[in-house]
Amino acid sequence: LAGVALALSVERRVAKGAKAWEIDKGILIRGGLIALLDPTLVSLGSGRWTFQVLLAIGLSMMCMAPLRRLPSWLLLTLGLGWLALGEFPTDWFWDPPGPSSPVAALFVGTYSSPTLAIKYPLLPWLAMMMLGWVLGRHMVRFDLGKARFSPRAILFVGGLALLAVFVVVRAEGGYGDMFLRHTNDTWQQWLHVSKYPPSLSYASIELGMLFLALAFLMTIEPLIGVRKNGPFLVFGQTAMFFYLVHRLVMEIPATYFGLRGFGDITTTYIVAAVLLVLLYPACLWYRSLKAAHPQSFLKYF
């Protein structure tokens, strides 16, 4: 989704004749600021150096400054190629269940200690961002009448194909699981896939479900319309603000007030529901603030 959003913004600016360096500068600044949030705010809340999703997103964005010049077929090949074959180079640098080295974890593996956590390696998440960029670029071309197949159709077919890949890979129980095999045939074990780092089985089921969900939302949107203050729209337009606030609201009490691991699955659902209710007006406020200052630093978040 980060790749789609970035491509929608950039490709439309390209079509309007924006200068290449101005576009690159915006991408690099935004990616750098997002990446810095992990070793600063998030690490402060976690009580240890934490390099996770924001670092991966930020660095991937910065990589897209030069990579955006590649044709879609090559970006698609690189993205799908890593998802399909990335377990091989990962195996060179990581011998699970123990951690890889911190340097390797920045690119392919995972690392965790009492003082440092690296769970989102760059290369697999950059691969997903490249796929998102290709989809966003196609959406722009389709809107301009330059592409034949609708994004909804691509998402629907792609979602079914990815779920089929998940079933095949998980049933085979070997390559594609990133060394996290299922120990029995219960549905819980089938869904217990490797996210750190992401395996082919993880990417295929998560992206497959995401694609089908997006195709469904594209189908019903013309029927139900778009509400200016609808929760999906508000949370979607303030995703970075939402993530930071909810992360710190949960992380600080867990780290500094002994609440990590508190409660059970019911507690989790209750806390999640309460946070959604409380953060909705906060996100409405932030969206208004951002709209009132379009040229401020807020435009990067």
- Per residue in 18-42, pLDDT tens? 899 999 999 999 999 999 999 999 9
Question: What pLDDT score was predicted for residue 13?
Answer: 87
Residue 183 has pLDDT above 90, yes or no: no
Residue 300 confidence (pLDDT)? 82
The mean predicted confidence, pLDDT, of the chain is 93
pLDDT digits (tens, 9 = 90+) for 142-155: 998 998 899 999 99
pLDDT at 185: 86
CA 171/CA 165 separation, integer angstroms: 10
The percent of residues above 90 in pLDDT, for the chain, comes to 85
Residue 16 has pLDDT above 90, yes or no: no
On the question of pLDDT at 124 being above 90, the answer is yes
pLDDT of residue 267: 93
pLDDT of residue 205: 97
Question: Considering only 64-78, 129-143, 182-196, which range has the smallest mean pLDDT?
Answer: 182-196
pLDDT for the residue 261: 87
User: What pLDDT score was predicted for residue 96?
Assistant: 87
The predicted structure's pLDDT at residue 175: 92
pLDDT for residue 97 is more than 90: no
247 pLDDT band, cuts 50/70/90, is very high
pLDDT band, very low/low/confident/very high, at 116 (cuts 50, 70, 90):
very high
Note the pTM of the prediction, 2 decimals.
0.91
State residue 32's pLDDT score. 96
User: How confident is the model at residue 25, as a pLDDT?
Assistant: 94
pLDDT at 297 over 90: no
Band the pLDDT of 15: cuts 50, 70, 90.
confident
Residue 298 has pLDDT above 90, yes or no: no
